[in-house]
Structure 1
Amino acid sequence: MSYQVLSRKWRPQLFEDVIGQTHITRTLQNAILKERVAHGFLFCGVRGVGKTTTARIFSKALNCVNINKNNPCNSCNNCKDITIGRSLDVLEIDGASNRGIDEIRELREAVKYPPANGKFRIYIIDEVHMLTTHAFNALLKTLEEPPAHVKFILATTDPQKLPQTILSRTLRFEFKRVQLPLLKDYIKKILNKEDIEYDVESIIQIAKKGDGSVRDSLSILDQAIAYTGGSLQIDKVQEILGMISESLYCSILTDIITKNKQLIVSVHKALNAGVSLPDFIIGFNHYLNQVMLLKSGVEIELELAEETVSMVNEYENLKVLDLLRIIEITQNFESGLRYMNYPQLNLDSMLIKLLSMDSTITISEVLEGQVKNIPLSPFSSIKANTEFTTSIIKKKQVKIINKTKVAESEKPISDDLNADIVSSKIKNSEINHKLDLNFFIRNWGDFLDQVEAEHPKFLTYLSEINLKSFENDKLTIEINAEDRFNAKGIKKNQTDLERIFKEYSGEEIKLILEIKNEKMKKLSVSEIKEPDRGMEGHPLFETIMDTFDGEIIRS
């Protein structure tokens, strides 16, 4: 007798043997028990999950003479004929090769005849989405009102291509991908019955490669058994499947964390050994996803070896945000791989980018003072000693109307230090030169940070001002006439602003505010007229105005 592949040899013959589809098999069994069997069924799902197998078991159960607990007996003539495919009452039609209107017309004529041996005449149309539009239209009436002795079971991997008229005339069942634990147990069961030696890692790799498809997994298992000579070992299985070991992925992730440039050599070595680039990046993304779930503490069964778990526990500073950034880079590479002319060059660029990544710093860590230094560049041994403070200084622009240029000797220090975060205050001891307008121009951003730290709303008042002059400890600032709200705020809080100026500069500073109207005439602070409040003198109204710094726009 010729050899029969595992997927055919171990095809389920009972509802209980179909793995991972309990929600469907139980429904069909209950329909048989209650005698509520519909005339049309649609089985949807990916390849190799049991659609055709379930249709055959269901057909046997409907025509079985000695049905046992809603399962076919597999011993009567009807069951045997259906199992070996010679039954006249169960016809399997390939929708891909019998897709025309002529074949459907023949089917319409055949349904008139009663079954030869069983109770029902059952038509199983596989890959039904391949039928033409005219064939679907010819099938509609028969599918909606077939004879009492006829049942239709349609199977497809692409239900989106079916007309709504077909979908509405059938009961739809969604077959799911088989979960990895169920698939592993099923493969172990077959290997034990076949008396084949194996290790657990090999079973896991085969089940992963099957991607939820039982038939694909058993086909891979057949290939692995033939290659290894009947003894499944992980190294041989990975070799035949072209898969990369988890230990290599673990080593790659360790090199990224430690910024070890040996990473590029390791990846090139793996690719030169014959591993395809798409398989490598897909496997690495899957591995990173598992590590991310482990690090985040999600309580699900993971597919990681003890080596990876130990590595994750060792590098406690590895954050979930770091892994998310790495995954984003690698997934972008995977999605764009098909459009790359020189994928090897793009791979090297991606690896360099991964090596250049620093650990993620969260805002809470900065505010709590947990971060003490920051690297200047990815591969530099020079480290910045810049102290982090609880406030991050943002560069703010200020309009300067003074035409006097800043003296060369007073220009800011070069940006070569690349320090974006500096102290929020300039210590009084560091101010060893005479205050002038240039001093306020250079340090205006730092001063605004100090204002924001003490009175955030003051920052709005100073957002549109111009620094005009500084003479005799008097700082003159200018604001447009239309900014009445900001002008009023500066006038109302002038004392507090002068106090902040004193703390910042170490000297008494008198603040002079000048208002420019539309005709460019300058008005002093005292000339700012208050609007006529009319009847708005109510205590509650005044309380609201003071609380929210309100302004009467129209009275």
Structure 2
Amino acid sequence: MVYQALYREWRSQTFDEMVGQQMITQTLKNAIIQDKVSHAYLFTGPRGTGKTSAAKVFAKAINCQHSVDGEPCNECPDCIGITEGRVNDVIEIDAASNNGVEEIRDIRDKVKYAPTQVTYKVYIIDEVHMLSTGAFNALLKTLEEPPKHVVFILATTEPHKIPATIISRTQRFDFKRIGLEDIVDHLQRILDKKEIAYDAAAVKIIARSAEGGMRDALSILDQALSFSEDELTVNDALEVTGSLTNDIMDRYLGHCLHNEPEEALEVLNQLLKEGKESNRIVENLLLYCRDLLVYKQAPAVLEKQVGLLTDGFKQLSSELSVERLYELINQFNDTQKEIRFSHQPTVFLEVMTVKQATLHRPQVSTEVLSSNAESHADVELLMDKINQLEKEVSYLKEHGVTTAQEGQKQAAPSKKAKASTYRIPTEQVYQVLEKAKKDQLLAVKGAWEELLQFLTVTQRAMIKASEPVAASDDNLIIAFEYEILCQKASQDEELTLAIKHGFERLLRYSPNLISVPKEQWSELRQSFIAQMNSGESGQDAPVAASDPVVDEAKELFGSFATIIED
């Protein structure tokens, strides 16, 4: 006999055999018992959760002449024929390869004819979201007023792609991911019936790798049985799923905990040499840290989920603080996101490893949580002080002339004491303006708000008080409303890297950043235009930035003002 894959051999043939979808199966059975079968159903949910199996069981149940409590007998000719695919009145259609208008029009033309072998003509359309707009429109009228002898069952993993007009004409059932314990019980029942020896921990490894999909779990189990010899062992399950052993994860996290980056990198390189995928490494470490955290708070719950816990696991759990586990989980989660969009995932793994193995702050998570809450308040306090200083400057501009005229010698030093220490990189600004591109600037401005998601709360507050004003292929000028923020931003390497990384992700654009105060931007721009009009090149532009205090002194004293460079 030809070998049949486990997911086909053990496909549910009744509602009671379906795992993890009790609410849906009970509702469908009650509809059959009460003779309230609708004309159209929509089954949605992740892959491998039983949508198509439920559709075929439902097709058998409504056509079975010996149905008991809404279940098909699976013994009559109609049930056997539907199971084997020999009944012409039960039609399965793959919408991925039959998504055109003509295919749906063909269905619309044929539904008017009565079934020839069974009571109901059933159309099961899988991956229905793949239908074209024209096909959906062709299907709409049939779903709205179908003949009494026709039942449509639409199945999809992406219900958001289905028009609302289609959904509103169906009864929708959302299939959920199957629980870990339900998958483990089902796999163990299959192994027991097939009289195959197995390690309970190996079954749990396979069940966890399936991520809530029973079909995936059966496929992985099938592969593991082919790989193993006489018994399904933990090593077999780890090899087939690409998962990490508890021992190697204990070693890796132990080196990170004891600030041993070299040893941690050696463990990482060993995993990569063994062919472990980067995303699988991070996923396993993330789940392992989750288990450590649960074990510290609720050990009985984890022992029930995982089973046997190793001594290394318990030792590591006692050494790692809850705060450090929070930090590790956040770091692994961030790295997992980065890897998903990267062509060099190994780089992110190595950076993550070095970062975690060089931290000397056992209570860093608590400090970070508190500092994040305080940083926003600090920014607000800084803004209040800036506003107060602006009012004082405005007052001095209105009333400071008399004082300056009465004592010229005292006026200049007092104003010079308030002069800014920030020097604008005028030459760099001119070089950017020479090569500035309008379309590049528009692209940057379009992504400016989206850039905020890559920044921390403090960085976000600084960027909110700025805007991009000029951009070239390699450089970007950002104008800040307040000079103090401009100076701080120009010295903040983390902010610069975060902005460059954000634009790299959003626009494939990694510019060097140049910060200027917004109040001096117009003057810089006008000066550049004047030099261009007079034929001067950007290289001959003066390097020194204009000083607002000096400009004000010239305005107050005219020809009496003497400028001395100190």
TM-score of the two chains, using structure 1 as the length reference: 0.63
Map of 1:248-263 to 2, 5 A cutoff? 248-261=248-261, 262-263=263-264
When residues 185 and 363 of structure 1 are mapped into structure 2, their CA distance, relative to the original with a 3 A threshold, is closer
TM-superposition CA deviations, 1:449-505 (whole Å, max 9, x none): xxxxxxxxxxxxxxxxxxxxxxxxxxxxxxxxxxxxxxxxxxxxxxxxxxxxxxxxx
Q: Distance in 1 between matches of 2:318 and 2:13?
A: 50
Select the residue among 314, 327, 333 that pairs with 2:318: 314
User: Which residue in 2 is equivalent to 1:360?
Assistant: 363
| Partner SS for 2:306 | coil
Matching of residue 349 in structure 1 with residue 348 in structure 2? no
User: Which residue in 2 is equivalent to 1:279?
Assistant: 280
Q: What's the offset of the Cα at 1:240? A: 2.6
Map of 1:132-281 to 2, 5 A cutoff? 132-261=132-261, 262-281=263-282
User: Which residue in 1 is equivalent to 2:68?
Assistant: 68
User: Which residue in 2 is equivalent to 1:333?
Assistant: 335
User: Which residue in 2 is equivalent to 1:85?
Assistant: 85
| Partner SS for 1:17 | coil
| Partner SS for 2:69 | coil
Q: Distance in 2 between matches of 1:29 and 1:333?
A: 46
Q: Distance in 2 between matches of 1:299 and 1:170?
A: 44
When residues 323 and 217 of structure 1 are mapped into structure 2, their CA distance, relative to the original with a 3 A threshold, is same
User: Which residue in 1 is equivalent to 2:55?
Assistant: 55
Map of 1:478-489 to 2, 5 A cutoff? none
CA contact (8 A) 1:295 1:312 kept: no
Q: Distance in 2 between matches of 1:341 and 1:24?
A: 42
User: Which residue in 1 is equivalent to 2:471?
Assistant: none
CA contact (8 A) 2:89 2:120 kept: yes
CA contact (8 A) 2:201 2:307 kept: no
Q: Distance in 2 between matches of 1:254 and 1:314?
A: 11
Q: Percent identity?
A: 39
Q: What's the offset of the Cα at 1:356? A: 2.1
* Amino acid aligned to 1:238: L
Q: What's the offset of the Cα at 1:273? A: 2.0
Note the aligned Cα RMSD (angstroms): 2.5
When residues 361 and 151 of structure 1 are mapped into structure 2, their CA distance, relative to the original with a 3 A threshold, is closer
CA contact (8 A) 2:224 2:240 kept: yes
Q: Distance in 1 between matches of 2:237 and 2:210?
A: 13
Q: Distance in 1 between matches of 2:344 and 2:78?
A: 60
CA contact (8 A) 2:201 2:308 kept: no
* Amino acid aligned to 1:46: P
Q: What's the offset of the Cα at 1:298? A: 8.4
TM-superposition CA deviations, 1:106-141 (whole Å, max 9, x none): 111111111213221111111111111111111111
When residues 305 and 359 of structure 1 are mapped into structure 2, their CA distance, relative to the original with a 3 A threshold, is farther
Instruction: Name structure 1 gaps, 5 residues minimum.
Output: 365-396, 404-555
User: Which residue in 2 is equivalent to 1:290?
Assistant: 291
Map of 1:84-103 to 2, 5 A cutoff? 84-103=84-103
* Amino acid aligned to 2:326: L
Q: What's the offset of the Cα at 1:163? A: 0.3
User: Which residue in 1 is equivalent to 2:325?
Assistant: 323
* Amino acid aligned to 2:318: E
TM-superposition CA deviations, 1:265-301 (whole Å, max 9, x none): 2222222222222211121112112222333448744
Q: Distance in 2 between matches of 1:125 and 1:314?
A: 53
Which has the greater radius of gyration? Answer: 1
Bigger share in helix? 2
CA contact (8 A) 1:246 1:305 kept: no
TM-superposition CA deviations, 1:171-220 (whole Å, max 9, x none): 00000111110001101111111121111121111111111111111111
Q: Distance in 1 between matches of 2:308 and 2:36?
A: 49
Q: What's the offset of the Cα at 1:312? A: 4.6
Q: What's the offset of the Cα at 1:337? A: 2.0
Q: What's the offset of the Cα at 1:97? A: 1.6
| Alignment coverage as a number of residue pairs | 367
Q: Distance in 1 between matches of 2:346 and 2:99?
A: 44
* Amino acid aligned to 2:357: L
When residues 64 and 249 of structure 1 are mapped into structure 2, their CA distance, relative to the original with a 3 A threshold, is same
CA contact (8 A) 1:45 1:156 kept: yes
User: Which residue in 2 is equivalent to 1:104?
Assistant: 104
* Amino acid aligned to 2:323: L
User: Which residue in 1 is equivalent to 2:509?
Assistant: none
User: Which residue in 2 is equivalent to 1:24?
Assistant: 24
Q: What's the offset of the Cα at 1:236? A: 2.3
Q: Distance in 2 between matches of 1:15 and 1:306?
A: 36
Q: Distance in 2 between matches of 1:156 and 1:116?
A: 28
Q: What's the offset of the Cα at 1:341? A: 5.6
Q: Distance in 2 between matches of 1:348 and 1:14?
A: 50
Q: Distance in 2 between matches of 1:304 and 1:347?
A: 29
Q: Distance in 2 between matches of 1:175 and 1:79?
A: 24
